[in-house]
Structures are given as C-alpha cells and as structure tokens.
Amino acid sequence: MIASETGSGAIPMIKLKINIKIKAWPRLGRSEAAQGYFLVAPPFLYALLLLAAPLAAIVLFSFWTQDYLTLDTTLTLKNYREALSDPLYGELLLRSLVISLAVTAATVLTAFPIAYFISFSVPPSRKSMWIFLITIPFWSSYLMRVFLWKVILGYNGVLNTTLTGLGIIDEPLSFILYNANAVVITLAHAYAPFAILPIYVALEKIDRSLLEASRDLGESRVMTFLRVTLPLAMPGVVAAVLIVFIPTIGDYVTPRLVGGPNGLMIANMIQTQFLKLNNAPMGAALAVLAMAMVTAVSLVFLFLNRRYLKGQK
Amino acid sequence: MKDTLGVERPIIALENVEKYYGEYYALRGISAEIRQGEFFSLLGPSGCGKTTLLRTIAGFEELSGGRLTIDGKDMKRVPANVRPTNMVFQSYAIFPHLTVAENVGFGLRREPLSRDEKARKVAEALEMVGLRGYGARAAHALSGGQRQRVALARALILEPKVLLLDEPLSALDKKMREQMQTELRRLQRQVGITFILVTHDQEEALIMSDRIAVMFEGQIAQLDTPQQLYRRPNTRQVGEFIGVMNFLPATATVSDETHIEVEAAGLGRAVIAPDQLPGGWHPGQTQSVGIRPETMSILFPGETTDRRVAIGTVEDLSYYGDMTYYVVRLDGVDRPMTISMKNLVGRPVLDRGTEARVAWDARSLVLFA
C-alpha cells in the first residue's frame, strides 16, 4: 500500500519537472536538433573522456622528455628528432606499414569473392544465414584464434605434419611461423568478416538490371564485372580497406605472439617504451607518428572513394 | 528484308515457345512472327508472361521448349551480349557511376571506331532523343523522362535489328507519357528498326502499335492490328481487356454461309455478316454478343433514326464534360450496359430513371462463346 501511494505521488512530480525544463528552453526542447544533441550527449561525453582526452595527453607527452622516473615538461621536438633519425624506429614504422598493407590486400582480395558469392549466388532466403556463418569465428576469443594459428603453422604444427606426411615436403616449413608472414596470415583471417560485410552490402545495393543492361549492350560477363560491378562495389571495397588497415597497423598482440623477432611492429615498440623503458614521451611520439601515417594512407583511400562515390545516388 | 522468293521474312519467329520455372508455366506455346520494321506490342495484365517473352527474346531467359529465330538465326544458346537486340529496361538501368555520354557510348567500346568518331556518334544519338548538350551531366542528375531518353539513345546507338522496350513509359506522369508515346512512334519510323513494346496499358498499345499480341496466362489470345483487335475481339476476355464492351446473352442460327441470324436479349433479332464471328467458330456455339458503348446512341426526345431501336431505362450516369457515360438497362435484360454519348450542342443530358431509346447497328455486334 505504501509503495503504491508513494509511487502514485512521484509520477506527477516527475512530470512537473519535465514541464518546467521544456518551458525554460522552449525552442531547444522542441527542435529536432536539440533532441539529436540530447541523444548523442552520453556517447559524446564518453568519447570525449576516453578518446579525445587521452589523445590530447599523448600529443602533449610527445613534446616532453623523461629520464628514468623524472618527467621534464619543457616542450621540445627531441623525441621526434630521435624517432626520425634512429633507423630502428624507421624500420619498425615501415615494417608496420608494409605488414598492414599486405594484411589489407590479402583480406580484401579474399573477402571480395566470398562477398560476391553470397550476394550473387546464394538464394535470397539463405543470405542472412550465410552472413551469420561468416560471424561464427567471433564466438571464440581472438587470443584463442591466434594460439590456434600457432598450432596450425608451427614447426610440428598441423600444416607441416600433413605436408610431410603426404610426402609433399621433406623438412617442415619454417617461413610460416614467427615472422611477418605469420602475422599477415593471422590478421587476414581475423579481419575477414570486417571486410566481407561492407563489400557484401555494396554488392547488394547494385541494381541487377544494370548488369543485364551491360550484357545487353554487348559486354561479356568479365567485362560487365570490370565495367559495372567493380566500380559500383568500390565504396564497399574502400570501406573494407580502411576497416582492416587502420586497426592492423596498431596491432601488437598478433606480432608479439606469432611474429617472432622479425615480425614485431611499431605498436610493440610503443608498448616497450611506455612499460619497459619508462620513456612515455618517446612512446607517445612514436604513437603520434604512427597515427600520422594511418591518417595519410586513409586520406588517400577516402579521396579515391570520393571519386567513385561522385555521381552516385 | 525478302528471301529469294521475294516473300517478306519475319525478323523474329517464335515457334511454340515455352518457359517454365519448376511447375509454373510462364509461357505456354507461343507462336508468332514479328515483321521487319513494325511496331509490335505485347499487351496483357501483369503476370501474363509478356515480360518473360521479351526477356527470352533479349536472351536473359533460356527457352524451356520451342524455337526462337532472330533474322533467320536460331537463338538457342546465343547469349544476350551477341544477340542483335537491345533493350530499354523498365527501370532504365542507367549506370549511376557514368556520365550521360559514357552511358550512351557504353556499347561502343567494341566498335572499331576512333575516339572522335565515337564522340560524334554519341552526340548524334543524344541529338536524336532531344538531349543535345547533356553529355557531360552525371546520370543521377536526370529526371525520369531524361533517363528514359538516355536509355533509348544507349540502345539505338548500336543500331540493333530489334529494339525491346519493357514498359518504358509506366514510370512517367501522364503528360510526359503521352509526349513520349508520340516521340517513340516518330523515332521508330525515323530509324526503321523493329520495336517490341511490352505494356499493360491497352490505350498505349492501341496508339503506338502496328500490331498487338494480347496475352493471358502465358498464351497469345489474339494477334491483330489495333483496329481489328478493338472491333473484332476473338474472345470475351480480349473484348473486356481492350476498352469497354457490353455483353448480352444471345443465340445464333445459320441458314447459309453469308446469312447468320442472331437473337440477342433486349435487342431482338439481327442478321450479321460472317466476319463478325470469331475465327474458326461455329455460330451454334454462340452464347453472347458484345457491343461497344460508342457504337450505340441514346435518342433524345423527338429524334428519329433509321437504325434499330431498343427501349430501356437510364439507371445511372457519369458526366465527363465532353462525354456522358450512361448505365442503361434494356427491357428484359438483367445486366445493365454502358453507352457513351458525346455532349454535342443541343443534346440534353438525360436524368436517372428516364426512358432511353437506344439506337444500334447489327454491324457492331461481335459474337462470343
């Protein structure tokens, strides 16, 4: 009884409060823009605190210096000078770029046929099931999948045992684990669904009568693919490239676990600077450089995408 | 196009063409010949197979049975890209990533022409469809009517033997549609290419075509000229689908080859000519006669005529300004019939419930099963 009484009393109070608020900002309360701001406010705050603030801190740190435990807050370009002149950092940055590009190429090139198959060959009623199947690898943790790749690619792993067992090779292959190749294989597998989905969506959006029109106008299947399907799927391909490229360049778990000494990437060095060498400013400077590199490559792709998007609804 | 005997060879010949999807028959034995240079229409309600037939001619659907020849060549296993046909799609299928000129010139890639020659051909094609100077525009910046013209130019630039049009006017508004109807006709006469038009709009088919094939449920019900189709439909279904037709129960007796006597409810006895019978019919099978609304007229009070007169009552009317449509029930008939009258000067519009004297001619009767 008591609960219901307080309950019934509380509801009008809340209503009253809301009314007052709306009256106080009559325009803001009603306009759609205000509603929009209201809706994005929580995630925006979240992003501000957990993304913008740490980013600003990293940029600021990169202009400071640190000697063991004492932090010198005078602004200097010393870290950048060192990062750009020391060949070790340069090599790591370059290797990260090359590995990321290789992963991106491998992922997108293998994802395209799969997306094409689902979009063009799978009957419409089965498509959602196929998309569901594509996401099954996410049911197991990423670390598990990386470890399984070690089992597959290892010296006495599944692949080598099978190949030697079949008599195809005499000695186990060693170039497939603890080097850059292993990193590329593992990451390409991990990011495949992320590449398949945007390409699939772009392919689904293509009006099938356009393909018939191309055939009708005298083009073969191959030329129809090159002149109509591929250009129209380009936005999806570019999206896939960005989705794969941006996170892989900063990946450090995979190179640590399967990369061996020659498969390490810039993120591993950043981690080392922060946690082992107690040189957060140097790590910050490397992080900023890596971000600059990602931004530059992404801008190139965005520019390409804009060219393809131009002239499309 | 004549063969060695000087006989006109059809550009397209369909021999017992069949198409089925599993248990479903989309086309059930279509046989027809389409002549060189004619404007041919496939007319029918949705689901009658007219689009399927067009797509089999284009090469997008394989035949399940029968034979299709285009310009004397069997089209079995000939893919769409090597057939001498081009198509204007219902959605127009304009490539969104290309400009107007690139769209129109799409099929020219394989032609052994220089860049300049191709550009000139594209400009000519655009000129022909009234889109001069639109070449550099992005395809998405076009209106519906302009898209259609681009689709036309893109198909005609390849000088196909047959142009296939899949309901090309259905997405346009009324005014634009009427304009394009005249323009398509003009273009067809100008280029002399055989046009095959798919439409569900009987008026459109009548206006534009040299000949029309009326299709129901995967079969051709009648293939004739517009006038013949309208005036002498073979079946009640065709008569109902094209325009408005009134049906009255009737019996027919034949005394000799040229003398057929019909007894129609409400109208009485009449003698008709043999050409008013559907082809291959015995008059004894007759169960009803059809008569078009505009072939009858209601006499205003005091008006006399030497035509036959039947008496009825005005049950309802719709006044359209230029025309009045009367719903009249003839004495002794259950179902009322529609009569259309031009609102000429001095002709009064009758009220509901008044007696109507309906003038009619034996020549306008059509016999049906």
Q: What are the boundaries of each domain within chain A?
A: 2-72, 78-309
pLDDT in tens, B225-267: 999 999 989 889 999 999 999 999 988 877 676 778 888 888 8
Please state the rounded mean pLDDT for residues A251-259. Answer: 90
Distance from CA of A221 to the nearest CA of B (A): 9
Name the band, by pLDDT with cuts 50, 70 and 90, for residue B300.
confident
Residue from the list B58, B97, B109 with its beta carbon closest to the beta carbon of A216: B58
Give the nearest chain B residue to A209 (CA atoms): B93
CATH architecture of A78-309: Orthogonal Bundle (1.10)
Which of A158-172, A191-205, B26-40 is least confident? A158-172
**Interior/surface letters A216-253, b for 16+ CB within 10 angstroms, e for the rest:** bbbbeeeebbebbbebbbbbbbbbbbbbbbbbbbbbbe
Extract the tokens encoding A75. 């602004």
Please state the rounded mean pLDDT for residues A69-96. Answer: 90
Residue from the list B60, B85, B96 with its beta carbon closest to the beta carbon of A312: B96
- Taking CB atoms and an 8 Å limit, are B86 and A215 in contact across chains? no
Name the band, by pLDDT with cuts 50, 70 and 90, for residue B346.
confident
Please state the rounded mean pLDDT for residues A52-81. Answer: 89
Instruction: Give the model's pLDDT for residue B209.
Output: 95
Which of A220-234, A297-311, B81-95, B103-117 is least confident? A297-311
From-to residues of CATH 3.40.50.300 in chain B: 10-231
Please state the rounded mean pLDDT for residues A254-260. Answer: 90
Is B86 touching A (CB cutoff 8 A)? yes
Is A308 touching B (CB cutoff 8 A)? yes
Q: What percent of chain A has pLDDT over 70?
A: 88
Residue from the list B85, B95, B99 with its beta carbon closest to the beta carbon of A228: B95
Residue B302 has pLDDT above 90, yes or no: no
Q: What percent of chain A has pLDDT over 90?
A: 59
CATH architecture of B244-369: Beta Barrel (2.40)
- Taking CB atoms and an 8 Å limit, are A216 and B86 in contact across chains? yes
Is A82 touching B (CB cutoff 8 A)? no
pLDDT in tens, B5-38: 555 679 999 999 999 998 899 999 999 999 999 9
Residue B354 has pLDDT above 80, yes or no: yes
3-state helix, strand, coil in chain A (%, to 5): 80, 0, 20
- CA dist B294 and B253 (Å) reads 27
- Taking CB atoms and an 8 Å limit, are B110 and A218 in contact across chains? yes
Residue B159 has pLDDT above 50, yes or no: yes
What 3-state DSSP class applies to A10? Answer: helix
C-alpha distances (whole Å) from B362 to each of B232, B271, B298, B308 are: 13, 7, 16, 8
- Taking CB atoms and an 8 Å limit, are A217 and B106 in contact across chains? yes
**Interior/surface letters B346-355, b for 16+ CB within 10 angstroms, e for the rest:** eeeebeeeee
**Residue B288 Ramachandran class (φ > 0 left, ψ -120 to 50 alpha, else beta):** beta
Average pLDDT, chain A: 86
Q: Which residue has the higher pLDDT, A13 or A214?
A: A214
Q: Which residue has the higher pLDDT, A88 or B273?
A: A88
Instruction: Give the model's pLDDT for residue B219.
Output: 94
- CA dist A90 and A290 (Å) reads 11
Phi, psi of B171 (to 5 degrees): -90, 0
- From chain A, pick out residues whose CB is under 8 angstroms from the CB of B106: 214, 217, 219, 227
- Taking CB atoms and an 8 Å limit, are A217 and B60 in contact across chains? no
Which B residues 131-190 touch A at CB under 8 Å?
138-140, 154-155, 158
Q: Which amino acid is at A267?
A: A
- Taking CB atoms and an 8 Å limit, are A217 and B86 in contact across chains? yes
Of the options 3.40.640.10, 3.40.50.150, 3.60.15.10, 3.40.50.300, the CATH number for the domain spanning B10-231: 3.40.50.300
Average pLDDT, chain B: 90
Name the band, by pLDDT with cuts 50, 70 and 90, for residue A81.
very high
Instruction: Give the model's pLDDT for residue A14.
Output: 44
Extract the tokens encoding A94. 């370059």
Name the band, by pLDDT with cuts 50, 70 and 90, for residue B283.
low
Please state the rounded mean pLDDT for residues B168-179. Answer: 87
Name the band, by pLDDT with cuts 50, 70 and 90, for residue B223.
very high
Strand order in the sheet with B297-299: B297-299, B355-360, B308-319, B323-330, B337-342
Is A214 touching B (CB cutoff 8 A)? yes
- Taking CB atoms and an 8 Å limit, are B95 and A213 in contact across chains? yes
Q: Which residue has the higher pLDDT, B286 or B17?
A: B17
Instruction: Give the model's pLDDT for residue A2.
Output: 39
Residue from the list A207, A209, A220 with its beta carbon closest to the beta carbon of B81: A220
Diameter over CA atoms, chain B: 77
Please state the rounded mean pLDDT for residues A53-69. Answer: 89
Name the band, by pLDDT with cuts 50, 70 and 90, for residue B280.
low
Instruction: Give the model's pLDDT for residue B288.
Output: 86
Strand pairing partners for B199?
B43
Distance from CA of B61 to the nearest CA of A (A): 11
Q: Which residue has the higher pLDDT, A225 or A21?
A: A225
Name the band, by pLDDT with cuts 50, 70 and 90, for residue A25.
low
- CA dist A123 and A118 (Å) reads 8
Per-position DSSP letters for B257-302, written without gaps between them = TTEEEEEETTTEEEEE-GGGSPTT--GGG--EEEE-GGG-EEEPTT
Other beta carbons within 10 angstroms of residue A309's beta carbon come to: 14
Extract the tokens encoding B19. 């198409």
Q: Is A210 exposed, middle or buried (0-12, 13-18, 19+ CB in 10 A)?
A: buried
Which of A40-44, A66-70, A84-88, B261-265 is least confident? A66-70
Distance from CA of A205 to the nearest CA of B (A): 12
Instruction: Give the model's pLDDT for residue B337.
Output: 93
- CA dist B34 and B195 (Å) reads 10
Residue from the list B97, B140, B154 with its beta carbon closest to the beta carbon of A232: B97
- CA dist A164 and A151 (Å) reads 16
From-to residues of CATH 2.40.50.140 in chain B: 244-369
- CA dist A216 and B107 (Å) reads 9
- CA dist B235 and A220 (Å) reads 44
- CA dist A105 and B196 (Å) reads 47
Residue from the list B81, B85, B91 with its beta carbon closest to the beta carbon of A207: B91
Instruction: Give the model's pLDDT for residue A7.
Output: 39
Q: Residue B2: which of B37, B39, B31, B30 has the closest Cα?
A: B37
Please state the rounded mean pLDDT for residues A23-29. Answer: 52
Instruction: Give the model's pLDDT for residue A12.
Output: 44
- Taking CB atoms and an 8 Å limit, are B99 and A313 in contact across chains? no
Give the nearest chain A residue to B82 (CA atoms): A218
